[in-house]
Structure 1
Amino acid sequence: MDSAKLLDILGNENRRKIIQLLANRPCYVSEISGRLRVGPKAIISHLSMLEQAGLIECSVDEQRRKYFNIANNMRLEVSVSPYAYTVALHDIAFDREKKGESPAAEKKDSPPKEESSVFFLKLSSRLQELKMRQEELAQMQQQLQVEYTEIMDHCLDSIEKVARNPVECELLFEILKNETTLAALCYNLRLHPSIINANLIDLAERGFIEYRIKNNQHYWKICETGVEKK
């Protein structure tokens, strides 16, 4: 799914609340309507949109009642800083083949209660360990974003000192964020290709930038050495 479309879907408070409910357990329309205090017609509309997006799925129980549950396992990451805005959507695959096993088969092969208790405690311990690692990863991501912003601040100060004109400042800043093409630079800076190209060549001759050819296009990037040629 497109990350922008997912953000639009999750922009609605009631749809977020529906997903939060279904993350706890599958629910019927009447349950969702009662918990959210929203009319069934509106709930059905929200569920339809979430189902079309692949976020949820429906099933029918023995009484032929339709219930809904989370259908996908994904991670949506949004990063906003003074120098970057990124949205990344990751589908996380996991094995659900055993979900369809019959209760009779599970009962037949189930271990004694003592072994089941030990197994449950081991799973619980592993779950707590994973939660701690997730928290550590989140803290590390925050620290990295802080450092990234601080380094970008220093880079901007350096760019102002080495650039010979405002165009060079903008070019170095754009290329610093990500390697890019002449066409992309012209579009972002709203400048004529001849002006962009002349400044790119000058920066390259002075040892600040270089290019590599990918898909028959020149992609400009900051030189690894970054030492100005005299």
Structure 2
Amino acid sequence: MEPHSFAEAVLDPHWKEAMDSELQALESNHTWTITTLPPGKEPIGCKWVYKIKHHSDGSIERYKARLVAKGYTQTEGIDYHDTFSPTAKMVTVRCILALAAAQNWSLHQLDVHNAFLHGISMRKSICLYLLASRQWFAKFSEAIQVAGYTQSKADYSLFTCKNGKSFTALLIYVDDILITGNNVAAINSLKQFLHTRFRIKDLGDLKYFLGIEVSRSNQGICIS
């Protein structure tokens, strides 16, 4: 069961370990700087969010705890301005899966651990200010293009690289990454590059993406 409060979670060693891991990641990424609040301003609070991640067979993969800002207490124009961050279009996901099925390409899934914390400098008071989806995407886009990938103008979340007969495609949705292509060496090289830049977890063959279950057989790819 996923706890509904910190008081409940702290009694379970699994959730306590997950929270400790989150706090260690925040510290190691130098996520915050203690600052003085402007006159008349109140800090935005934070809370823990708990989620159990499952394998495709239903068994528990890991316990995930995230410390997030209470964004619903903010006022537009005072606490924030832009919040938009590009997200993968479903039609692009379907095109990538159809292409992989037609060409019999492998499909790989990666997860970025603490994506919002990578190389991002944010103002903090006592609470954690975690409204960094836009900044994270900009950071990732810059890195992947340095590696020779081109950003699609039809879907900003899609990046491709063509080198001779080699073709690799990467689709990102916040901290979930899907990779396919016709060159295994190029895919492995991309994974290694991402590992050097970010904390990446290789989840192996694609099983779930954006709430879609993906299963593969000799007949092709089935999504549900």
Q: Which has the higher helix share?
A: 1
TM norm structure 2: 0.22
User: Whose Rg is larger?
Assistant: 1
Higher strand share: 2
